Each structure stands twice: as structure tokens, then as C-alpha cells.
Amino acid sequence: MDNRTLAYWQDKFAALSIEGRAFIDGEYRPAEGGQTFDCLSPIDGKLLVKVADSRAADVDAAVAAARRAFDSHVWSGLSPRQRKAILLRWATSIRDHLDELSLLETLDAGKPIRDTTTVDVPGAAYCLEWFAEAIDKIGGEVAPSDHHLVGLVTREPIGVVAAVVPWNFPILMASWKFGPALAAGNSVVLKPSEKSPLTAIRLAQLAYEAGIPAGVFNVVPGSGEPGKLLALHQDVDCLAFTGSTNVGKLIMQYAGQSNLKRVWLELGGKSPNIVMPDCPDLDRAASAAAGAIFYNMGEMCTAGSRLLVHRDIKAAFLDKLIAAARNYIPGNPLDPQTSMGAIVDNVQLERVLGYIETGRTEAKLLLGGSRVKKESGGFYIEPTIFDVTTADATVAREEIFGPVLSVIAFDTVEEAVEIANASQYGLAAAVWTSNLTIAHEVARSLRAGTVWVNCYDEGGDMNFPFGGYKQSGNGRDKSLHALDKYTELKSTLMRIR
């Protein structure tokens, strides 16, 4: 039995020493100008630590260290097998520090400790292991060519990769970037979100201790500014971004204004979850629909935030959905019993509450709608469900990134697909049906990077590429396809006679 109770985590927190400096060229450093920002816990709004607020001098130092490391071949020049061994050591170290990293993530981002210990931190170690294990097993091609030639097609690391990541899955989203980027032989400068920088900062030391050479993995915490500076930097070869669509658009512009660095974007979503009248298991579908929007407080890029239900089963399905939603009770995320933690900060809390106010004017509130646990000083919102009559209502159209679900009724399969695709986003989608033809046809028609049939958010392993259509981004995280982002293809043609 797991004996890590709330008291266990509180004791551990009391004994925790939190690092807030940047990690550049193998060492922790304060920001060059000494400036810091306050890192507050959304659990109670209290200060956790002052974190280095990186600016141009820090970004330049990190990029220069990454470039030096890359050019010296200290990492890029290792054989894939040698890189694998070091990455595996780092992954083991992450697992060895499971409690510490999970605690940091929960304190910093408000995520339930039951999730950070089972999903986020083990998931980051697994991602590293997966790419470490893959990298010494894939090779290039000998291309068909004229008889007098031998033609090789090889992949080479790009150079300096900047990774700019969000706050909803801080360690996991970061690992989806630095895992393949480092495995491929690049140097990395990681810019965590200002709302959740702590695990990235701690990871850097574990990487160094595991044998990642100085300069190969650097962390520059700060606001959007260091992200922008990295995207504008002339000596960054690739920028891998996960975050909002609006900032993704800026990143593309910055690349165009500077050196045309490769830009890979994993952006927002407003994913449709379609329940047909022949859904094979309404209870399972209702439980999955609740999880799709209330897991991680709805702070999910793949959140099933638009629930499309056939009109014939809507009333029955809503009863089951509301019952399932009541299992998500906002509470102290350090308590292992808690399934719904705190919203990441006051800004996001106000944003979500603003959307709820808009929803009240354009839709019928079926559940929730309020901030709770205000006396804690933390930021908690209860599961909220709106019955929406028009699919273009604001709450049914815009990404809220909080525990707010819009339910939309439909009458035909064609109408469901049309509503599902009528979005600027195309990250994920799901359909529930017993009819194989409908399953295939709808899955084929949905304009989304991931489609689930009779499930939601399945596929936690690394084998499936993850990313979006339309304004949900370009490129794919996870799977061997992710390596495409961090390598250049080279054709070498040799005349042999």
C-alpha cells in the first residue's frame, strides 16, 4: 500500500530546498542582472521561491554554451549508443527522484500529486528512455541511383534547439522536446513557463550529474521575453514550441524576422467528443467525457471541451455525465485522495471565470460555475457544464483551458462532423459508436491529429505521433516522427567510376 499521505507530502515540502536559478553551461547561475520573479504556489498563493528572470544576457550565454558544446562534438560526436547510455542514466535518476520532482510539480502547477507521481514524472523518464532506446537502432538509406553513383541519405542533428514550453504538463511537455532533440545529438536551451519553472530547473542538475556534458542542456527560466529572444536569436537553429496558438503565430514571425530557424508548433485545441446514439457503453462514455475535460483541471490541450451528443440520447447521457463530473472535487493537490487540484495561477483563474460569466449569458448552466476554496488562498474552480444551443457560442468556440464543458446536440452524423470540423483547431477528436462504418467514416472525416474511437485520451505510450491540424500547429511530438524535427536530411552522392 502507498503510505505517502498528505502528511508525508507536507513533511517533505517542509524539508524541501527549492532551486530557482538558471542552469547554463553546467552550473546554476542567477540572472546576470540579478533580477528575479516570484514563483507562487496555486495551492495557497504563497511564495515558493524567487526564480531567475532571464533576459538577453542570459539567453545569449545559454545559446553560446549550447553552440560551443555542439561545435566541440562533446555530445553530437558521441556514438548513438554512448548518448543512449547517458540518457538512460538520466532517466533512472528522474525515477530515483520521483517524489521530489512530483512534489515540485504539484506545488508549482497545482496538479494532483496522484497524477504527478504516476503520469507526469514517470512519463518524462519514459520519454527519455524511449528516445534513448530508439536512437541506436535507426539508420539512414542507400538511395537507388545511377550505377556510377553511391547515394547515402543520412540524418544529422540540427545544432542548437530551443524548447519553449507551457505550464500544464511542465516536465512532460519539456521531455517530449528535449528527449528526441538530445537523443539526435543536438544541444538544447529549455525555456519553461514562468508559471511552472521548477522541475525544469531541477532536471538540469540531474542531467549534468548523469553525464550530459556542460552546455548541452541549459535552462533559462523567465517570462515570455526569453522565449521571444530565443525565437529571434540568430544562433538558434530550431525552435520547438508548445503553447497557445497566438504565441505560436508570433514565434513563426520571429523566425522569419531572424534566421528562418525551423519552427515546430504544438498549439491549442477545442476538441470535439462525439457520442452517437448507438454508443456501445454510455456509462463508460460519460465517465470518459468527464475525464476528458476535468482531468488536470481542464488544463489539457486535448481537452474534450466540446461534447457533441445525439439529441435522442442527450437527456440520459447528461444525467450520467453530471454524475461522473461530481467525482471531480477540487481539493488540496498534495492530498493523494484529490482528483482535481488548483488552477495554475490567479491570471488563469480569472480568465476561466471570465469565460464562465460569458457562458451564463449565452448558454444554460448545468453544473458548477464557481470559484471554490477561496479561503485557502489558492485558485480552485468546480467542474462546470454548459448546455449550448448554438455551436458558435463563445464558450463552445474558444479554448478556455479550464474545467468548462460545452454540450452541443446534433441530429445526423453529417451534422456532427460539420460541427466538429467547424473550428480553427484540429488537435484531437473522438467518436463513440457501435457501427464500424460510422467509426471509420467519421474518423476519416475529422480534421484532427489524433482521433479516438470509443475511448478518450488513450495511448499514453510513445508510439503515436502527437500534434495538430490547422491552427493546432505543425510537426509531431512523440514517436520516431519526432526525430524529423530535430534532424536535417543530407544526401551524399559519391561517384565511384
Instruction: By CB under 6 A, name the binding residues for ligand NAD.
Output: 164-168, 173, 191, 193-194, 223-224, 227-228, 231, 242-244, 247, 250-251, 266-269, 301, 399, 401, 427, 468, 472-473
Q: Which residue in 39, 127, 279, 301 is the catalytic one? A: 301
Nearest residue to the partner ligand NAD, using Cβ: 227
Q: Count the Cβ atoms, other than its own, within 10 Å of residue 176.
A: 25
Structure-block grid coordinates of residue 476 = 509531431
Q: Which of 141, 101, 146, 103 is nearest to 14 (CA)?
A: 103
Report, in Å, the least distance between residue 155 CB and ligand NAD. Answer: 23
Report, in Å, the least distance between residue 410 CB and ligand NAD. Answer: 24
Give whichever of 191 and 314 is closer to ligand NAD, judged by the CB atom. 191
Query: Following DSSP, what letter does each residue of 446-471 receive, concatenated?
Result: --SSEEEES-SS---STTS-B--EET
Query: Following DSSP, what letter does each residue of 250-282 receive, concatenated?
Result: HHHHHHHHTT--EEEEE-----EEEE-TT-S-H
Question: Is 39 among the residues known to form the active site?
Answer: no
- 142's enclosing H/E stretch is strand 141-143
Report, in Å, the least distance between residue 33 CB and ligand NAD. Answer: 18
Q: Which of 179, 187, 135, 183 is nearest to 161 (CA)?
A: 187
Question: Is 266 among the residues known to form the active site?
Answer: yes
- 107's enclosing H/E stretch is helix 98-109
Report, in Å, the least distance between residue 423 CB and ligand NAD. Answer: 13
Give whichever of 313 and 352 is closer to ligand NAD, judged by the CB atom. 352
Report, in Å, the least distance between residue 84 CB and ligand NAD. Answer: 25
Give whichever of 157 and 243 is closer to ligand NAD, judged by the CB atom. 243
Give whichever of 247 and 321 is closer to ligand NAD, judged by the CB atom. 247
Structure-block grid coordinates of residue 391 = 455551436
Residue 199 and residue 97 in contact, taking contact as beta carbons nearer than 8 Å: no
d(C-alpha 71, C-alpha 333), whole Å: 44
- 57's enclosing H/E stretch is helix 56-71
Report, in Å, the least distance between residue 156 CB and ligand NAD. Answer: 26
Give whichever of 150 and 347 is closer to ligand NAD, judged by the CB atom. 347
**Collapsing DSSP states into helix, strand and coil, what is residue 412?**
coil
Structure-block grid coordinates of residue 66 = 549550447
Give whichever of 186 and 193 is closer to ligand NAD, judged by the CB atom. 193
Q: Which residue in 266, 299, 382, 399 is the catalytic one? A: 266
d(C-alpha 265, C-alpha 284), whole Å: 33
d(C-alpha 66, C-alpha 72), whole Å: 10
d(C-alpha 300, C-alpha 488), whole Å: 31
Give whichever of 253 and 491 is closer to ligand NAD, judged by the CB atom. 253
Report, in Å, the least distance between residue 248 CB and ligand NAD. Answer: 7
Hunting for cell 468548462 — which residue is that?
A: 404
Active-site residue set: 266, 301
